[in-house]
Amino acid sequence: MRRIEPILELKKLSKSFGEENVLDEIDLTVYEGEIIGYIGPNGAGKSTTVKILLGLIEEYEGNVRIFGEDISKGNHTYKRRIGYVPETADLYENLTAYEYLTFIGELYGLEGEEVDRKAKELVKLFGIEEVYHSRISSFSKGMKQKVLIISSMIHNPDLLFLDEPLSGLDANSVMIVKEILAKLAAEGKTIFYSSHIMEVVEKISHRIVLLANGKLLADGSFEELKGQNMDGTLEEIFNQLTGFDEHQNIAEKFVQIVQEG
Ligand SMILES: Nc1ncnc2c1ncn2[C@@H]1O[C@H](COP(=O)(O)OP(=O)(O)OP(=O)(O)O)[C@@H](O)[C@H]1O
């Protein structure tokens, strides 16, 4: 029988910035075909984890293996098998969608003509084929997000890191992207999905990993988390696990202050 190797393995991963311990001995093993909902309050350390996995932060403690290889060993070929949708896009706004996508595709080692062919078909499926040759600076937020999503997947990566990938997308496009993610996972791709939209994380994730103050507070399927905590939505479980029950108070005070004077 084939032994299933982990796609991603973190052992006691720690990272501090000065005095601040941002990640504290994170242990996490992720397998092929899993959609991991990677969630946590603002500042929990999610982006820092992803930056370490992408090789953008090179100083950390602990061990990180991707596709079975220790990424600190300096072999960067694993990056070709990774796709990334960052939270804030550094799209090259002066390029057209065509120029940007062929540029990214070529960085990943694809032939220019091949990327152009794929990109044309993908932008068409997202309904933005008419602006393929327009500058990205003229695009709406959702149109830019579509280009980012395409650029993260055009090289058919095995591991995807998505940070708020649905940001700015309309309801129809959200349905398409959710379906794309489920299909990619069914094809054996592994997806690391960071978002604050709990309803979506609850629906699409096979496994939910909750980080707070640099520590893993929970790791399991939504059903498992429900079993270990109160029954309810992921939003309620999130609030419970992070010890937050102040939303009504805060909202009330906020509205009072807004109405003062
Ligand atoms: N380059 C840096 N230098 C110093 N501190 C940093 C740096 N990058 C991140 N931090 C700190 O690390 C902590 C974790 O940040 P991180 O961006 O990983 O959080 P996050 O979980 O992604 O938050 P959000 O949900 O707001 O995106 C924060 O306190 C942040 O201020």
The ipTM, to two decimals, is 0.95
pLDDT for the residue numbered 1? 54
pLDDT for the residue numbered 194? 94
Burial 140-159 (b: 16+ CB within 10 A, else e): eebbbbbbbbbbbbbbebbb
Query: Closest Cα to atom 13, ligand 1: which residue?
Result: 43
| Residue ranges lining ligand 1, Cβ < 6 Å | 17, 22, 40, 42-48
> Stretch 228-251: mean pLDDT, rounded?
84
State the DSSP code for 138. Answer: G
pLDDT for the residue numbered 28? 97
Residue pLDDT, tens place only, 7-24: 999 999 999 999 889 999
pLDDT for the residue numbered 240? 86
Domain boundaries, the chain: 8-251
pLDDT for the residue numbered 25? 96
Residue with tokens 């960067």: 76
What pTM was estimated for this model as a whole?
0.91
In Å, what is the CA distance from 118 to each residue of 162, 178, 181, 242? 21, 20, 18, 43
Q: How far apart are the first and last CA of the chain?
A: 73
Residue among 109, 114, 150, 110 at smallest CA distance from 129:
150
Residue among 256, 236, 253, 252 at smallest CA distance from 244:
236
Edge-first strand order for the sheet with 159-163 is 82-85, 159-163, 190-194, 35-39, 207-212, 215-220
pLDDT for the residue numbered 145? 94
Residue type (1 letter), 52: I
Beta-carbon contacts of residue 39 (< 8 Å; ≥ 6 apart):
46, 194, 195, 196, 198, 201, 208, 209, 210, 211, 238
Q: Which of 14, 17, 194, 198 to mutate to test the pocket of ligand 1 (most atoms within 8 A of CB)?
A: 17
pLDDT for the residue numbered 3? 62
User: In angstroms, what is the span from residue 149 Cα to ligand 1's centroid?
Assistant: 23
Secondary structure (DSSP) of 58-108: ---EEEEEETTEEGGGS-GGGGGGEEEE-SS----TTSBHHHHHHHHHHHT
Whether pLDDT at 172 is above 90: yes
Whether pLDDT at 92 is above 90: no
> Stretch 92-104: mean pLDDT, rounded?
91
Whether pLDDT at 247 is above 90: no
User: In angstroms, what is the span from residue 57 Cα to ligand 1's centroid?
Assistant: 12
Q: Identify the CATH class of 8-251.
A: alpha beta
Q: In the chain, what percentage of residues exceed pLDDT 70?
A: 98
Model confidence band, residue 168 (pLDDT cutoffs 50, 70, 90): very high
Residue among 219, 15, 217 at smallest CA distance from 205:
219
User: In angstroms, what is the span from residue 113 Cα to ligand 1's centroid?
Assistant: 39
- CA 212/CA 41 separation, integer angstroms: 6
Q: Which residues, listed in sequence order, are joined to residue 6 by a DSSP beta bridge?
A: 31
How high is the mean pLDDT of the chain?
92
190 touches 158 (CB < 8 A): yes
State phi, psi for 121 to the nearest 5 degrees: -70, -40
